[in-house]
Amino acid sequence: MNEAKVYPVTHERYSFMVKFSRKGFKPYRRYFHDRSSADTDAAEFNKKLFREGSEGVHIGPRERRELQNLLLILKDRGLTINQAAEFIEKNTRKRSSLTWKDAVFSLLEARERQGVSERTSQNLTSRLKNFAEHSGIKLIDDVGAQDLQEYIYRPCSVRNQINDYAAFSNLFNFLLKRGQIEQSPLARVERPRDTAKKRPAIMKADDAAVFMERIAKHRDGLFVPYFALSLFAGLRPSEIADLDREDIRQKTIRVDGGKMKGRARRNVPLLPNLAKWLNSFSGSLCPHRLDSPVFVEARRLCPVTWKEDVCRHSFISYRMAIVEDERQVSREAGNSPDMIYAAYFELVSSAEAKAYFAISP
C-alpha cells in the first residue's frame, strides 16, 4: 500500500476507515462517520507521507523531540544528519581491506557462473566502474550513503538513476550475503522512481499479423514458437528460455521458470491461435541465446519500432479487453491485479482483441 486509502466498514458507530500500513511500522487507522471527513484525513496524511516518507509519518512525539534536539546540535556545528551518520558509520564499525575493484570482480564472476547475458555483465561493469572513477573511492568501507546519494542523483535521466541504483543494489546485496559487509550504505539512499505514467507499447493486430507472417518465412520458421508464445501467451523471454514442449498441455502452458518475478509460477491458457502456431512449427521454443545476433535480426522483421516487452504488453492489453477481469489476467500474466488494471485497462477495444487473437498460420 503506497498511500492511505479510504475503506467502507461495518461498524456500529463508524462508516469509513482511513488506513495506511508498511512492513516494520505500526499501521495508521482512523475511523469516521462520513466519507467527506475520511477523504480529508487521507489527503492530509498522504501530503505528509509525500513530504516526510513512512519514517516521518510514523515517528512518535518523543522521537520527534529527540530529533529536533539533534538537529540543533548539528546545526551549531554546520553538519547535516547524513554527514553525522556517515561519520558514525565510518568510525565505529570494524574496517575491512576489501577493495571496490575486487568486490566488483567477485560479483561479475559470480553472475557469469549464473549465466547472465554479456549485455547485463557489461552494464554492471560500466556503471560500477564509472562510480569508482567519479568518486575516487578505493575501499568498500569508504563508500557512504552520501557518496551514493550524490552520484545517483547527479544531473542525468531518471532511467539512468534507476539503473545505477540497481547496479549498486546488486553489488551490496551480493556482499551482504557473503558476509563481507555488515550493512549496505545503499539502505539509506532513497530509490529513484519514474513517476511519469507511460502507456505500454503494444502492436496493433495488423502489425502483429505482418510480423508473424514474416517470422514464419524467416529461417524456415525457426523463431515462430518463440514469438508466438511472446505475443499470444505473454511469456517473458526468460520464461520461454526455460520452457519445454512437455510444459505445453492440452489447454494450458505450465510456466515454472524464468527470473521468477511476482507470480511467475502459473498456468497460462493455450489459446486456439497459439496452439495452431505451435503445432505448425516444430523445433526449439527458444533456439538461440536471447542476446544473440540472430535474435536481433528476427526482431528487425517487426513492421513497427521494436520496444522491450512489446509482445508481452500486447498480450496483456488484448487479453484484458477479452476477459474484462484483472484478477484472471493477473493470474495468467504473473502480475498483481492492481498493476494489470492500472496499466492495461481499456487500452484496446474488444473488436481489436478478437482480431489479434485470430492471427493464425
Q: List, in order, residues 6 or more apart from 278 with CB less than 8 Å away.
A: 225, 228, 229, 248
Between 48 and 145, the more confident residue is: 145
Q: What is the pLDDT of residues 59-94, one digit of tens each?
A: 666 766 777 788 888 888 888 877 777 777 666 655
Let me know if 4 is exposed, middle or buried by CB neighbors in 10 A (0-12, 13-18, 19+).
buried
Q: What is the pLDDT of residues 140-169, one digit of tens each?
A: 888 888 888 888 998 888 888 888 999 899
Let me know if 349 is exposed, middle or buried by CB neighbors in 10 A (0-12, 13-18, 19+).
exposed
Let me know if 272 is exposed, middle or buried by CB neighbors in 10 A (0-12, 13-18, 19+).
exposed
Structure confidence at residue 261 (pLDDT): 47
Among residues 150, 137, 142, 151, which one has the least CA distance to residue 89?
Answer: 142
Our CA dihedral for 116, 121, 122, 124, rounded to 10 degrees, sits at 130
Query: Which H or E element spans position 16?
Result: strand 16-20
The amino acid at 85: A
The arithmetic mean of pLDDT across residues 174-192, rounded, is: 85
The arithmetic mean of pLDDT across residues 119-136, rounded, is: 86
Q: What is the pLDDT of residues 90-108, one digit of tens each?
A: 666 555 678 888 888 888 8
Mean pLDDT of all residues in the chain?
84
Residue 354 binned pLDDT confidence (cut-offs 50, 70, 90): very high
Residue 257 binned pLDDT confidence (cut-offs 50, 70, 90): low
Residue count of the chain, please give it. 361
